[in-house]
Chains A and B, each alone.
Chain A
Amino acid sequence: MSHVQELVAARPAPPEPRRPLTATRIVALVILGLWAALAVAMLAMMVTGWDEAKFLRYGPRYLSGLATTVTLVGEAIILGAILSLPLAFARMSNNRVLRGIAYSYVYVFRGTPLLAQLFLIYYGLGSFRPQLEAVGLWWFFREAWYCGLLSLTLNTAAYQAEILRGAIQSVPRGQYEGAAALGLPKSVAFRKVILPQALIVALRPYGNEIILMIKGSAVVAIVTVYDLMGETRYAFSRTFDYQTYLWAAILYLAIVETLRHIWAWLEARLTRHLKR
């Protein structure tokens, strides 16, 4: 009888296969090299063009611009959410007139550029000064800030109404029927059964909408609101220094990326009961 006296000695791991330099890799390296060159050029520009006086002068302005942008977008999103509720319900109602009105509102605001809407409100309505003064609304349309807020709100309400409608309609019919079978009144069924499920579906589109609003809010700089973009344009018009735009780009990217990560975390957290 024979049995194994000693085990096979451990052999060294096979050598790592050498990764050949394929065309894909070359392209990747070239593109990465371009990015690196761009980053170095930007850094060099910021280091050589560093001017303490400018930084001290425009730095705080940038921060206040950032705060303006965040406040403007935050208010617009909240007001738009409030406005989008009746819109979404009108869009789903059985009344044909109501549905038509809501549909055309959404279509008009999603089919025209934000810039044109802003100009229509700020310059267009602003040209009716006597009438507006007569009804006591001139204080509102005189201020670029309010006009920007109004146009952003109206715009985002249209988009949010569509998000909400899509989310509510994505909840299967059986959920309504189940709630009805349990004897829940319609309002309670909506609040406790339908809406929680709909909002989870709507979470990601809402995040995208906020990011789109942050990017879209840059247009209010054109009508003299000093948001981040407005301060950037101000600084550029004073210094003719290209760096001004780079700083704005960094700040915008920082906001959007932060928001994106917060949203990804939020989504993972809120849908943890759906994971299998």
Chain B
Amino acid sequence: MSGWFSALATALDPLCGPFGVFTLLGGDGLVSCGASGWGDEIAFGVKVTVTLAIATLPVGLLLGFLIALAAQSEDRLLRAAVGIYTTIFRGLPELLTLFIVYYGLQLLIQSALGWFGIEQRIEINAFLAGMIALAVVFSSYASEVLLSAFRAIPRGQYEAGDALGLHRSRTMVLIIMPQLIRIALPGLGNLWMILLKDTAYVSIIGLADIVRQTGIAARVSKEAFFFYFLACLIYLALAIISSFGLGFIERWARRGEVRR
């Protein structure tokens, strides 16, 4: 069964499958999908970029949601605590955040191991570091979007939930969330586009994403313009696909609204 699935996945691979872009247009040239061309390496980079963005999204959304909840709490201390978080991570350049997470985590784990008497050089996974850094940045922006969406929902909605005798969490899931998603979707869609572009930074800490793979291809083949142009085109294609997907999700979220 799994072999069948993987065969199907290979057949439908949009880049290097039998009907893939690189297979059809690459021929035997620079972007062909064999040992001679760079098509398969770049296809791998696309996979890494997309995986990283998709893996970051739920973490960032969840964190952002929790922060938005905390930011509208009545407790002053809690608001201050998350205020520090958003101020820091919205003020730091993404690149610097990435370095701080990447080297900081290594240092932290090394010193923690040092306490237990284990002296060892640790290299943490670039994917994990990239994911954490991007999720942290994403969540601090997402919290602002979600916070303004929360503010757009009238108090009466919560009171109606109370009047129906629903538990707080049920009110949140059944009444608030559907409206929240609808209001926050355009903002979150923008943040997804930004996240997709920000994944390019992980190439600097050595993860084999689109920019890194095209960069290697550019250096080896000496066709820098062609390969970096290709990288831009791929990002553009991803952005176009995302905007189609987001349009679809937005229509889905608004399916309950009365058509006027």
Contact = CB atoms under 8 A, between A and B. Distances in A.
B182 interface: no
Contacts of B82: 31
Contacts of A221: 95
B197 A112 contact: yes
Contact of B92 (A115, A120, A125, A252): A252
Interface string B64-100: 0000001001010110111010011011111110011
Contact of B95 (A31, A119, A219): A219
Contact of B223 (A107, A127, A257): A127
Interface of B: 70, 73, 75, 77-78, 80-82, 84, 87-88, 90-96, 99-100, 103-104, 107, 193, 197-201, 203-204, 210-211, 215, 218, 222-229, 231-232, 235-236, 239-240
A119 B107 contact: no
A66 to B, nearest CB: 13
17 contacts: A25-B78, A31-B81, A107-B236, A112-B231, A112-B232, A115-B203, A115-B211, A117-B232, A124-B224, A126-B224, A127-B225, A214-B93, A222-B204, A229-B93, A252-B93, A253-B91, A256-B90
A98 B87 CA distance: 40
Contacts of A28: 70, 73, 75, 77-78, 80-81
A125 B211 contact: no
A40 interface: no
Among B90, B93, B224, B240, residue most surrounded by chain A Cβ atoms (within 10 Å): B93
A198 B226 CA distance: 40
A25 B75 contact: yes
A185 interface: no
Contacts of B78: 24-25, 27-28, 31
B93 A216 contact: yes
Given A24-B78, A126-B224, A222-B204, A119 B236 contact: no
A29 B78 CA distance: 8
Given A31-B78, A115-B204, 11 more contacts: A27-B78, A114-B200, A116-B200, A117-B232, A124-B218, A124-B229, A127-B223, A218-B95, A221-B95, A222-B204, A249-B92
Interface residues of A, number: 47
Contact of B228 (A116, A215, A257): A116
Among A25, A28, A119, residue most surrounded by chain B Cβ atoms (within 10 Å)? A119
Contact of A245 (B99, B223, B227, B232): B99
Taking each of A25, A123, A126, A236, which has the highest tally of chain B beta carbons within 10 Å of its own beta carbon? A123
B203 A124 contact: no
Q: Lowest 8 CB-CB distances: which A-B pairs, in order?
A: A124-B225, A28-B78, A113-B200, A111-B239, A31-B81, A218-B93, A28-B77, A256-B91
A180 interface: no
Nearest to A214: B93
A264 interface: no
Contacts of A242: 103-104, 107
A25 B96 CA distance: 32
